[in-house]
Amino acid sequence: MGHQNCRRPPHVVVALVAIVLLQPCFVSVASSSSSVAIDGGGTNVKVPAVDGGAGSFVEFVTENVELYSNVSNEHMYGSAGKVWDPQLLVAQGMVVRYVVSPDGKGKFRTINEAVRAVPEGNKRRVILDIRTATYREKVLVPYTKPFITFLGNPKNPPVIMWDDRAATHGKDGKPVGTVGSATVAVESDYFMASGIVFRNHAPMAAPGQEGGQAVALRVFGTKAAFYDCTIEGGQDTLYDHKGLHYFKSCHIQGSVDFIFGFGRSLYEDCAIMSVTKQVAVVTAQQRTKSIAGAIESGFSFLRCRIAGTGAGQIYLGRAWGDSSRVVYSYTTMGKEVVPVGWDGWRIERPEKSGIYYGEYMCSGPGALPHKRIGWSLVLNDAQAKPFTGIHFIFGDSWILPPPSLVG
């Protein structure tokens, strides 16, 4: 700790720790959907009026472009440049690493064993080095165990798989529901995964089949990051449930509403693949006035690729919430994307709602802005700016690169 006159100013200490964290030694080895508020965002971020249609949100964008770029400084210490979340700084300074391998060559044979071993109220970064294998288990990372990392080899990734559907009966004899169908559920904050396959291998549901939702990954905690991951399923593949989330270079495939929820998430350089021969819908975003905090949510797709492996058509999104918000920027759209692009679903007058569906500088045979449904938007530079970087998820304070593989 040193003497009083030897202490550095707080902003210098933070900067030094951040620099240390980003050095190679960072990876060294040490011994049912509820109506809930999003954790994240900013207390000074203005919320757009939602009763005036898309135009009211244009005003919101204009007023908040500069605020978005500086929001992390308002949340943390107020020093210049990148400033880290203080809880994250503490955790990254105390890294512990364990090997998970079903052949007994690691500390744990199953992922569930490893997660159970993490103490309640954990404050350290716990890296689970998951060796290449197929793990047939249903995994819950509880909210009491933050700072857990699932690390696999992206060239030969481990697979976590299960086959529950919403209609599957649980131990109590009742259907598990959409929430309970998830192969992996992440309820803790500061979760990270790199080089992992999350799979729900339940048979593909028939169109309109009740209880056919089969979630591969549900993310309920905030400040979660996924790198080089594959998320596979059919209907409702990725439940982007709540919180701030970052998906980088991931492969996400499904059929109907296969990215859904009211998370505030950035998808960067991801492959979005439809596997249905029928009609696919990429997003069912649930931004709404009726769930506390959900009005701050939205999905932003940056430099992604949308295509289909089947013969079916693809909608970019449909409105699960009355103020659903999705933006595609610099995204390549395959021929499977329908010309109208978007669907209002159960919203009787989408043009009078708070729905905000936009596209910016997209390309490919499916990028047809002049044929889109009339209440969607082709964004200009100023309107697109809040969505085209990690500032959309306030990522300057918490997004770190994944750890490297060792051994």
- DSSP 3-state percent helix, strand, coil across the chain (nearest 5): 20, 30, 50
User: Rounded CA gap, 406 and 126, in Å?
Assistant: 15
Q: Which amino acid would we find at residue 277?
A: K
Nearest one of 289, 401, 257 to 356, comparing CA atoms: 289
Which helix H or strand E contains 62, and what residues bound it? helix 54-75
Catalytic residue IDs: 257
Contact 174, 148 (CB under 8 A): no
Partners of 279 in the β-ladder: 313
DSSP 403: P
Query: Can you tell me the distance from the alpha carbon of 262 to that of 297, in angstroms, rounded to the nearest whole number?
Result: 6
d(CA 181, CA 214): 6
Structure tokens at 224: 């979660």
